[in-house]
């Protein structure tokens, strides 16, 4: 049992303010408590924000080289603890050990390394005539992060914030807080100055709201559901702070009628099944030519069967979903798909055979889905693929864009020119052609109700900077 009931404020592990309660953190594979955290309140947030505000006076004026060295030290300490972090992710949210090691924990190191390399050459100043345009750290940043990629979503915010000279108050997900605690130990061991990074555990309506509405928080960055993102924006409105959000998605995956079709179907299904479908950019709406629907069903079912859930500490490709709440939501939406007339190709409601404990969901594929069905409109956040048929590419593009979300989109074709043309027409912040590899320099974020602003790479730096124009910085030259 992990006992993580202290908060990290002002460079020290401290007890919560009086009256704090504790919360059991449930291992989703066993449904047993794996540890406990304290749930903070406004007094804890006030203390953390005061520490961050005080530290900003000096940290905001550190040199580029000082921050490069700090990020290097963080990266060095992170690598030492990377295996521990991977194990914590598996325990707290159920990612299978192969995924926790190769992606979940590895992403944290990648973000710190990327920020360090960008910082070495990033331009913070530009001279325009006699005016200097200076990009300066925005100040105290409040971060509210989710449980589905817990360390990734923290690192992709903390790394550029520290690189640009900002200070941080973090509220990690109370559902999956273990990896955040270990990252905090990494930052402390790396010598992050007192008050520059602070962590307070708690729930969204209490600690999250206190961060979002705090007058001394200059910017709040939230990753999570669109519903919660709206609440964060409303909390922040009274203090007119910058609000950065990475929210939900219902990403279209348009497959063209060509020789790469079967491979594209398999790749699309696997992209959803990875992480048990708990990725906001998962390609959950697969658009296929109506004439190849039967082929798509056959390949999709065969691929889904290869993602049999099981013990995440063993050799299973897929683990459980994170909680009983998520399990129940996914079951309800699968049933809704059946009730609304979608064709159930494989999977369905209930636990997989042989698994009577743990929040395991059957890899599920629906076919002949129409774009007005609930399973094509709502973010399921589980291992569920909906296959929709189209008569023309124009129809596929129109229906692909017919969603309140716009986080990601996918195109699969052996005709690269045609894929490029379709990619330009899709209303999404990131479009992936033919299963392209992860690019840590590519901005990540969405259109419409998928949020605003961008994370990852050099675009992330801009979210943490204010622009100052200093007129007359250079003396005006006298006319000859």
**CA torsion 207→209→211→212, rounded to 10°?**
160
Q: Which residue has the tokens 């290869």?
A: 306
Which residue out of 174, 280, 346, 379 is catalytically annotated? 280
Which among 287, 293, 291 has a CA at the least distance from the CA of 398? 287
**Annotation marks residue 246 as catalytic:** yes
HEC assignment per residue over the chain: CEEECCEEECCEEECCCCCCEEEEEEECCCCEEEEEEEECCHHHHHHHHHHHHHHHHHHCCCCHHHHHHHHHHHHHHHHHHHHHHHHHHHHHHCCCHHHHHHHHHHHHHHHHHHHHHHHHHCCCEEEECCEEEEEEECCEEEEECCCCCHHHHHHHHHHHHHHHCCEEEEECCCCCCHHHHHHHHHHHHCCCCCCCEEECCCCHHHHHHHHHHCCCCCEEEEECCHHHHHHHHHHHHCCCCEEEEECCCCCEEEECCCCCHHHHHHHHHHHHHHHHHCCCCCCCEEEEEHHHHHHHHHHHHHHHHCCCECCCCCCCCECCCCCHHHHHHHHHHHHHHHHCCCEEEECCCCCCCCCCCCCCCCCEEEECCCCCCHHHHCCCCCCEEEEEEECCHHHHHHHHHCCCCCCEEEEECCCHHHHHHHHHHCCCCEEEECCCCCCCCCCECCCHHHEECCECHHHHHHHCEEEEEECCCCCCCCCC
CB count in 10 Å sphere of residue 127: 10
Which residue out of 246, 379, 399, 463 is catalytically annotated? 246
**CA torsion 37→42→48→50, rounded to 10°?**
-170
**Annotation marks residue 141 as catalytic:** no
Structure tokens at 249: 């998605």
Distance CA 216, CA 300 (A): 51
Asked whether the beta carbons of 152 and 172 are under 8 A apart, the reply is no
Q: Which residue has the tokens 């050990």?
A: 97
Residues classed as catalytic: 246, 280
């Amino acid at each position: 049992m992990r006992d993580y009931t202290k908060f990290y404020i002002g460079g020290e592990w401290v007890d919560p303010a009086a009256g704090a309660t504790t919360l059991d953190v449930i291992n989703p594979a066993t449904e047993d408590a794996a540890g406990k955290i304290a749930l903070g309140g406004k007094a804890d947030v006030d203390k953390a924000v005061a520490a961050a505000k005080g530290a900003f006076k000096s940290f905001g004026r550190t040199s580029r080289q000082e921050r490069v060295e700090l990020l290097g030290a963080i990266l060095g300490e992170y690598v030492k603890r990377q295996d521990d972090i991977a194990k914590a992710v598996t325990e707290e949210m159920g990612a299978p050990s192969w995924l926790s090691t190769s992606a979940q924990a590895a992403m944290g190191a990648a973000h710190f390394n990327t920020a360090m390399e960008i910082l070495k050459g990033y331009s913070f100043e530009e001279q325009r005539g006699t005016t200097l345009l200076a990009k300066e750290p925005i100040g105290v940043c409040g971060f509210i992060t989710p449980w589905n990629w817990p360390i990734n979503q923290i690192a992709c915010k903390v790394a550029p914030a520290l690189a640009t000279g900002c200070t941080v108050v973090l509220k990690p997900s109370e559902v999956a807080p273990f990896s955040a605690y270990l990252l905090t130990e990494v930052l402390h061991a790396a010598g992050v100055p007192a008050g520059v990074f602070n962590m307070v555990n708690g729930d969204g309506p209490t600690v999250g709201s206190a961060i979002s509405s705090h007058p001394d928080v200059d910017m709040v960055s939230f990753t999570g559901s669109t519903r919660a993102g709206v609440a964060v924006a409303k909390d922040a409105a009274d203090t007119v702070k910058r609000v950065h959000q990475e929210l939900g998605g219902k990403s279209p995956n348009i497959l063209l009628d060509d020789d790469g079709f079967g491979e594209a179907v398999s790749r699309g299904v696997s992209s959803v099944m990875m992480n048990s479908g708990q990725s906001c950019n998962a390609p959950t709406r697969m658009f296929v030519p109506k004439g190849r629907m039967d082929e798509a069903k056959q390949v999709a079912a065969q691929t889904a069967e290869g993602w049999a859930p099981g013990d995440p500490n063993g050799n299973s490709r897929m683990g459980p979903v994170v909680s009983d709440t998520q399990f129940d939501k996914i079951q309800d939406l699968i049933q809704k798909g059946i009730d609304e007339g979608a064709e159930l190709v494989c999977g369905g409601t209930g636990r997989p055979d042989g698994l009577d404990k743990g929040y395991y969901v059957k890899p599920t594929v629906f076919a002949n889905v129409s774009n007005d069905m609930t399973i094509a409109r709502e973010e399921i956040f589980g291992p569920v693929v909906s296959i929709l048929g189209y008569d023309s590419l124009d129809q596929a593009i129109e229906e692909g864009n017919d969603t309140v979300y716009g986080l990601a989109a996918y195109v699969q074709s052996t005709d690269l020119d045609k894929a490029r043309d379709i990619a330009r027409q899709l209303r999404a912040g990131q479009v992936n052609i033919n299963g392209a590899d992860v690019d840590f320099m590519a901005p990540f974020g969405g259109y419409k109700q998928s949020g605003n602003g961008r994370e990852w790479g050099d675009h992330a730096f801009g979210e943490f900077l204010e622009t100052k124009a200093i007129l007359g910085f250079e003396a005006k030259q006298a006319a000859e």
